[in-house]
Structure 1
Amino acid sequence: MKVMGKVYDVIVLGGGQSALAVAYYLRRSGLDFLLLDKEPTPGGSWQYAWDSLSHFSLAQWSSLPGMIAPGGAGYYPSRDETITYLRNYEQRYCLPVERSVEVTEARRDDDIFLLETSRGTYQARAVVNATDSFTNPIIPAIEGREEFGCVVMHSSQYRSLAAFVGQRVAVVGEGNSGAQILAELSRVADTLWVTPKPPSFLPDEVDGR
């Protein structure tokens, strides 16, 4: 495998929100850095999220440094708006990203990190891991699942409610993904929400808002 001759000060693994935020500050630092993203296009894991997904916090709390998220202060940006925002953010700050590069191994050789990738071996003095678990979902082992005979899927595999019209669906988990998917499916399916403890909801109004 080809070894890249250049040694970067920092290599960031990933191309989503966390990676771009790190890159923003690296750009200001003057360090020589590079982002390696295994996805072919900008947008991070938002590209593979379900169609109706939106931010769970308002735009002013969802913005990356230096650039306000779309829609204004009281708005919840959608999936497609977020993908466009991440692409524009990357272009605005001319962030150096190499795409469709999958990192398979990272090892230390004296004071240099060697990153084995699908494109060759990259070298860096420091590495920031800004990847997520979206493409490597964890579905817990459940006794009897093999005999269940029905569909068991992770939230990362959910796309839209169309396939669940008139079905009986159990949504497991009280996190943001579980709550939003449940709210959507409950409009067209017979739903059951399974949580280890009663969900805790924010009040409708906080400080008069």
Structure 2
Amino acid sequence: MSRSPDTVTLVDVVVIGAGQAGLSAAYHLQRLGASFVVLDANPAPGGAWQHRWRTLTMGDVHGIATLPGLDVPEAVDDAAARDFVPAYYAAYEERFGLPVVRPVRVSAVEDADPGNRGGDLLIRTDAGVWRAPAVINATGTWERPFWPSYPGASSFRGRQLHTHGYEGPEDLAGLDVVVVGGGASAVQVLGEIAPLAASTTWVTRREPVWRVGDFDPDAGREAVALVEERVRQGLPPQSVVSVTGLLLRPQEARAAAMGAYERHPMFTRIEPEGVRMADGTFRHADAIVWATGFRAVLRHLAPLHLREDTGGVRLVAREDAHTPTTAARDHRVQLVGYGPSASTIGANRAGRVAARSAVRVLDDRAAA
């Protein structure tokens, strides 16, 4: 869509991001009768799913959550997740005629009148400016991969890559590979790499927690509640998998039999030809894969000063006691795809609550 950078468009609510949480919020805003727009930085539908590695299949992800109002089509296990999920999201946008504008990159969200903290917000982008009383932020984490800093990293002569840029195991065939990270992505990557690599070494800061028993809906709700408690306190959110535990899938049995899931404590430094382990021994490495997760993409919200001294954005619940989405420091801003709603377990519910909370901002202003 071609727009002048000086164009200002008025709407009731601006949704930033068209992943699962953003689309869920848009669906409920539409049902509530609000005027809104969804601004998406990606060139096509699919959110972060369109960027997942090539070999990640629907069998690997155990399916996806159904968006409100449209069931997920049946998927074969070997369907590429980065093709299947974007196709579903595209069909969803079309089915409900959602006003998604892309590609649009938001640079800042700020007060239209700096002297009136409760007034409209300006959403500045590379495609013009939107003005609205409320914002639902659904930018997720994909664009902010976390690379830990370790001594000697710049001296390493091999290849370093983050799962953000991982495409599949073939490029690592025949190499000595160190995989860093204690989450589900590290387990999945090890499962693919180990059968092809010359060797793999798995290192984590903490001992991995393996799940025992099925992950039923009750367990899912308990996991989300634990992550919700952190955002209620204004602490930086942790991933839901950090409280659900890890589970080996059948396709990872071969890697397990090869010993790929023998965990080692984090190395102390990186050297030109490998890593120095905590016990002083040396491990040769041709490549280091950082499966170290992502951080929330919130820099564009910095003008609103939403962060607490504890480092996170504290969220409160205005419409649903079990789902905090409202920024405690500014009730005009809803955060979805943040903390507990960064998972498929909580994103749909958060989208509904955020939409209702955003409309409440409009109602409160009309009643004032």
Provide the residue aligned with 1:199 in structure 2.
208
| SS of equivalent to 1:62 | coil
Give the direction of change, closer, same or farther, for the CA distance of 1:177–1:14 in structure 2 (3 Å limit).
same
Provide the residue aligned with 1:119 in structure 2.
127
* Structure with more helix by fraction: 2
* Structure with more strand by fraction: 1
Number of matched residues? Answer: 204
Q: Which amino acid aligns with 2:33?
A: G
In the alignment, the residues of structure 1 paired with residue 78 and residue 134 of structure 2 have an alpha-carbon distance, to the nearest angstrom, of: 35
In the alignment, the residues of structure 1 paired with residue 29 and residue 6 of structure 2 have an alpha-carbon distance, to the nearest angstrom, of: 26
Say which one has the larger Rg: 2
In the alignment, the residues of structure 1 paired with residue 125 and residue 154 of structure 2 have an alpha-carbon distance, to the nearest angstrom, of: 36
In the alignment, the residues of structure 1 paired with residue 57 and residue 48 of structure 2 have an alpha-carbon distance, to the nearest angstrom, of: 13
Give the direction of change, closer, same or farther, for the CA distance of 1:124–1:205 in structure 2 (3 Å limit).
closer
* TM-superposition CA deviations, 1:138-162 (whole Å, max 9, x none): 2011111011122111111101111
In the alignment, the residues of structure 1 paired with residue 184 and residue 28 of structure 2 have an alpha-carbon distance, to the nearest angstrom, of: 29
- Picking from 35, 46, 53, the partner of 2:38 is 35
Q: Which amino acid aligns with 1:9?
A: D
* TM-superposition CA deviations, 1:82-125 (whole Å, max 9, x none): 11111111111111000011111110123111111101111111
Q: Is the 8 A contact 1:7 1:125 kept in 2?
A: no
In the alignment, the residues of structure 2 paired with residue 58 and residue 150 of structure 1 have an alpha-carbon distance, to the nearest angstrom, of: 34
- Picking from 48, 55, 58, the partner of 2:51 is 48
Q: Which amino acid aligns with 1:11?
A: V
* TM-superposition CA deviations, 1:17-46 (whole Å, max 9, x none): 111111111111111010001111111111
With the length of structure 1 as denominator, give the TM-score of the two structures: 0.88
Q: Is the 8 A contact 2:51 2:82 kept in 1?
A: no
Provide the residue aligned with 2:109 in structure 1.
106
Q: Is the 8 A contact 1:106 1:113 kept in 2?
A: yes
CA-atom RMSD, angstroms?
2.3
Residue 174 (str. 1) matches residue 182 (str. 2): yes
Q: Which amino acid aligns with 1:197?
A: R
**Shift in Å at residue 203 of structure 1?**
3.9
**Shift in Å at residue 70 of structure 1?**
3.0
In the alignment, the residues of structure 2 paired with residue 153 and residue 143 of structure 1 have an alpha-carbon distance, to the nearest angstrom, of: 17
Provide the residue aligned with 1:159 in structure 2.
167
In the alignment, the residues of structure 1 paired with residue 84 and residue 69 of structure 2 have an alpha-carbon distance, to the nearest angstrom, of: 17
In the alignment, the residues of structure 2 paired with residue 148 and residue 57 of structure 1 have an alpha-carbon distance, to the nearest angstrom, of: 33
**Unmatched tracts of structure 1, length 5 or more:** none
Provide the residue aligned with 2:139 in structure 1.
131
Residue 146 (str. 1) matches residue 154 (str. 2): yes
Aligned ranges for residues 66-81 of structure 1 at < 5 Å? 66-71=69-74, 78-81=81-84
* TM-superposition CA deviations, 1:51-85 (whole Å, max 9, x none): 122466643x622222222327x979733211111
In the alignment, the residues of structure 1 paired with residue 52 and residue 188 of structure 2 have an alpha-carbon distance, to the nearest angstrom, of: 12
Give the direction of change, closer, same or farther, for the CA distance of 1:205–1:127 in structure 2 (3 Å limit).
closer
With the length of structure 2 as denominator, give the TM-score of the two structures: 0.52
In the alignment, the residues of structure 1 paired with residue 19 and residue 111 of structure 2 have an alpha-carbon distance, to the nearest angstrom, of: 25
In the alignment, the residues of structure 2 paired with residue 89 and residue 184 of structure 1 have an alpha-carbon distance, to the nearest angstrom, of: 32
Aligned-residue identity in percent: 35
- Picking from 94, 101, 104, the partner of 2:97 is 94
**Unmatched tracts of structure 2, length 5 or more:** 217-368
Q: Is the 8 A contact 2:57 2:77 kept in 1?
A: no
